[in-house]
Structure 1
Amino acid sequence: MKRILSILFLLPVLTIAQDHSEQITQIYDEALTKGRVYEDLRVLCKEIGNRLSGSPEAAAAVEYTKQLMESYGFDTVYLQPVMVPHWVRGKKEVVRAINSDKHGTYEMNALALGNSVGTGSEGVLAEVIEVSGIDEVNELGKKVEGKIVFYNGQMDPTIINTFGAYGGAVAQRSSGASEAAKYGAKAIIIRSVTNRQDDIPHTGSLRYKALINQIPAVAISTNDADQLSRVLKEQTLNVYIETHCKQLPDVLSYNVIGELRGSEFPDEIIAVGGHLDSWDVGEGAHDDGSGCIQAIEAVRLFKALGIGPKRTLRAVMWMNEENGLRGGREYARVAKEKGEKHIAAIESDAGGFQPLGFSTSGTDEQRAQIKQWKNYFLPYRVWDFDQNGGGADIGPLRSQGTLLIGLRPSTQKYFIYHHTPADVFEAVDQRELELGAASMSAMMYLLDREGLK
């Protein structure tokens, strides 16, 4: 009798930690056998295409994702207005080396950087001076006056996390124009920010500093950058640049939001999402069509499996991450204004590749709680829970106490496609995309069932 009483006394202790393995297995099985994420991404990429903020394609993507979530029976689907920049590329760029000794006059593969001013039909013709980065421009000072500055800084191939290597090289793209302009440069050319040798130029956003002359900026492919560097070691060279890009007035766009209402704690929100806009080249498949459609799929899996959430789940398509971050900021502003409580936000914006883990930004207790769930993901080779970070669009929520979580896929191929015409649907693997969506859904499930400390 004493033995029976002892066992009964221990039962509450043994059942405190609930095992979610069976439900998480069902989430992955559903995503891998009956998932919709791959077909939904195909429609976004192939029937709508690239989705630069302010473009008709971006407006079409807003309507498509709204209708998609409505078709899946989300409790509420709505649009959140946000004013976004409207930059247009215009006619194809011309970047031409003039009368080199060995190659004569030749064209380079180039794209204007996002938000850049254009040259107009008169173009810019000037001598080129090569630098490895912004520090070297500051050392040269007035020696760059009247010249085209060629930034040839490379991503460090020895850094295995390619996002770290990207971070070490991207300043020449984001800040290089203003840094060169303050010494009188006429334009800049940058080496595309990628770890691959090829003929594909990479665009991306620049930021002009206030009260500094705005000068044109273009990126050339890594192969062209290497050739230009070789020529400059042998001779003085002039380059002609012609671009027709311009900034138009801001236009009205929308974040797209779909919800499943929580039954027990409806005022606690778990958001999951990606950014709906993309650059105006390629189809924005990895950046970030994958993240958007994975977010919709992550919530759809709850509906498909009949899982009634305790907390309110939101799939959010943020607009204008690429050249303004207006959507993420507006979403956080409205959340604060309404007094909404986001306990966690999950972002996928690192491509639709094989998921390896999750990064987190929150309190030590919150991060430790997420790490405790690692064993649920190990059967799916999702193992890395040690990295810091969340995501650009969810970043503005951090000041409101929200735990930020980033889906972290393999990074080795991402910068092959990033901001290029090669970022198309065919570059995404169906199984890897499905695994990412399932991982996001599983993380939402654990947050929903367990809450946060």
Structure 2
Amino acid sequence: MKKKLIFLFLVLGLTSSLLAQPQERLPRTLLPLSVLQDIINESSGELALQNEIYLTGVNRNRRLEEYQNGYFETRFILDRLKEYGYDQAEIIELPTTAKTTWDAEQAELWLVEPLKKKLYDLKDIPATLCQGSVSTDTTAELIDVGPGYSEAFYQGKEVKDKIVLVYGSPERARQLAVEKFGAKGIIACTSSHPEFDRDQLGWNSIRVGEKDKPAFAFMVSERTYYDLKQMLDRKTKVKIRAVVKSQMVPYREEMAMGWIKGTDKAEQELVLTGHLFEGLSKQGANDDASGCVAILEAGRVIKKLVADGKIPPPKRSIRFLFVPEISGTMAYLKKYPEVARKFYANLNEDM
């Protein structure tokens, strides 16, 4: 994390008056040695990590009141922006065409046969339930369809009214397993690095539209996937119970913004961005809370060093945008075209 912060400051140095100071420089850097040392001494990877832990250290199911009163992530960032003394800090509500969004209240996945065992619960691991899953209380036989994205994986298998076990994308499998062959739901595994953690789950979603058959999908770890697959490979009859309670709730899109005022080039701004949201159900510590806390810490260090008289204020203003991924950036630029025209350069910290 600290290396990421130092890189940010090297880029920021290009837009400041620091370059004009004829001092000793470290090899392959554009900052004076004394300034670089002050940055290294003040910047804190530990503080950035603490902020990341507050944001995403524990997976949590979003509270219903957040959809009306504001999201936890933007409130947290706003509090830190104010604490660190940014010249301007606010939460901005963004225009959106979406009126509602999916939200889950309850989800449990049970092994019923050959023994009774709870596998996952939304309260414990919110990532287990795929966004878009419909309400259900289904008990059905489990059948393995491999990756599930091609009709070849279904040949000779009767999946109608059953739950399919998939190693791959639940949405790609849904399009065939549910829509064409009549499966009730999906259990999927898409662990990107099982060599690091066999119990890891990845966030995922299915797209159930008005014209689609209702469906649900659960994500499981590689360990759980192979436990289930081995039972099926031994010709053991496996039954699963899936309980889901979900709903559509009013949707609002918002972001946090921080700003550090420049001294004499008000028509130009350096913009640092990171996305707080990638859909409202997913909470990604790496993608992209890590980027958000990195630029947050960069701003804190700038304000502190300027206040201590160790560096001059930046010539260009620096704007920090903590946005919903892609949609939030576009909505912000559309809402504030006069601000967008001031953008001199953008550094996006994504993972």
**Normalization by structure 2: what TM-score?**
0.71
- What one-letter code is carried by the residue in structure 1 that aligns with 2:162? K
2-side partners of 1:49 and 1:108: how far apart? 17
2-side partners of 1:140 and 1:268: how far apart? 61
Is residue 54–residue 253 contact of structure 1 (8 Å, CA) maintained in 2?
no
Report which of the two has the higher share of helix: 1
2-side partners of 1:95 and 1:123: how far apart? 10
1:207 aligned counterpart, secondary structure: coil
User: Larger deviation: 220-229 or 328-337?
Assistant: 328-337
2-side partners of 1:123 and 1:139: how far apart? 21
- C-alpha spacing 1:147/1:49, structure 2 compared with 1 (3 Å): closer
1-side partners of 2:150 and 2:172: how far apart? 11
Higher relative contact order (CA 8 A, sep 6+): 2
Query: Which position in structure 2 is the counterpart of 1:29?
Result: 41
- What one-letter code is carried by the residue in structure 2 that aligns with 1:310? K
Query: Which position in structure 1 is the counterpart of 2:150?
Result: 135
2:192 aligned counterpart, secondary structure: coil
Query: Which position in structure 2 is the counterpart of 1:89?
Result: 104
2:193 aligned counterpart, secondary structure: coil
The offset of 1:49, in angstroms, is 7.3
1-side partners of 2:42 and 2:215: how far apart? 52
1-side partners of 2:329 and 2:282: how far apart? 23
Query: Which position in structure 2 is the counterpart of 1:75?
Result: 87
Summarize deviations over 1:157-185 as a string: whole Å, max 9, x none: xxxxxxxxxxxxxxx14443234322122
Structure 2: tracts of 5 or more residues without a match:
1-21, 122-127, 307-311
Query: Which position in structure 1 is the counterpart of 2:309?
Result: none
Summarize deviations over 1:269-312 as a string: whole Å, max 9, x none: 33223333489999854444333222211122211121422323
- What one-letter code is carried by the residue in structure 2 that aligns with 1:239? K
2-side partners of 1:150 and 1:87: how far apart? 24
2:105 aligned counterpart, secondary structure: coil
Query: Which position in structure 1 is the counterpart of 2:321?
Result: 316
2:296 aligned counterpart, secondary structure: helix
Structure 1: tracts of 5 or more residues without a match:
1-13, 154-171, 351-453
Residue 108, structure 1, aligned to residue 106, structure 2: no
The offset of 1:72, in angstroms, is 2.1
Is residue 55–residue 86 contact of structure 1 (8 Å, CA) maintained in 2?
no
**Normalization by structure 1: what TM-score?**
0.57
- What one-letter code is carried by the residue in structure 1 that aligns with 2:48? V
Query: Which position in structure 2 is the counterpart of 1:152?
Result: 167
The offset of 1:187, in angstroms, is 0.6
2-side partners of 1:51 and 1:215: how far apart? 20
Is residue 50–residue 278 contact of structure 1 (8 Å, CA) maintained in 2?
no
- What one-letter code is carried by the residue in structure 2 that aligns with 1:271? V
The offset of 1:233, in angstroms, is 1.6
The offset of 1:152, in angstroms, is 1.6
Q: What's the % identity of the aligned pairs? A: 21
Equivalences, count: 306
- What one-letter code is carried by the residue in structure 2 that aligns with 1:314? R
Is residue 146–residue 153 contact of structure 2 (8 Å, CA) maintained in 1?
no
Summarize deviations over 1:49-104 as a string: whole Å, max 9, x none: 747496539624322321321232222222221357543332341231523xxxx4
The offset of 1:222, in angstroms, is 1.0
2-side partners of 1:296 and 1:130: how far apart? 45
- What one-letter code is carried by the residue in structure 2 that aligns with 1:56? E
1:226 aligned counterpart, secondary structure: helix
- C-alpha spacing 1:190/1:124, structure 2 compared with 1 (3 Å): same
The offset of 1:139, in angstroms, is 6.1
Query: Which position in structure 2 is the counterpart of 1:186?
Result: 184
The offset of 1:41, in angstroms, is 4.0
- C-alpha spacing 1:133/1:81, structure 2 compared with 1 (3 Å): same
Across the aligned residues of Structure 1 and Structure 2, the Cα RMSD in angstroms comes to 3.8
1-side partners of 2:191 and 2:129: how far apart? 13
Query: Which position in structure 1 is the counterpart of 2:66?
Result: 56
Alignment of 1:344-363 (within 5 A): 344-350=345-351
2-side partners of 1:174 and 1:335: how far apart? 36
Alignment of 1:206-245 (within 5 A): 206-208=206-208, 211-235=211-235, 237-245=237-245
2-side partners of 1:333 and 1:137: how far apart? 46
2:313 aligned counterpart, secondary structure: coil
1-side partners of 2:173 and 2:329: how far apart? 25
- C-alpha spacing 1:224/1:279, structure 2 compared with 1 (3 Å): farther
2-side partners of 1:277 and 1:241: how far apart? 31
Is residue 112–residue 243 contact of structure 1 (8 Å, CA) maintained in 2?
no
Summarize deviations over 1:167-209 as a string: whole Å, max 9, x none: xxxxx14443234322122111101423225345443333346
The offset of 1:244, in angstroms, is 2.2
1:29 aligned counterpart, secondary structure: helix
Is residue 95–residue 109 contact of structure 1 (8 Å, CA) maintained in 2?
yes
2-side partners of 1:132 and 1:108: how far apart? 21
- What one-letter code is carried by the residue in structure 2 that aligns with 1:182? E
2-side partners of 1:272 and 1:116: how far apart? 35
Is residue 273–residue 317 contact of structure 1 (8 Å, CA) maintained in 2?
yes
Summarize deviations over 1:225-265 as a string: whole Å, max 9, x none: 11111122221634323232423223334200011133343
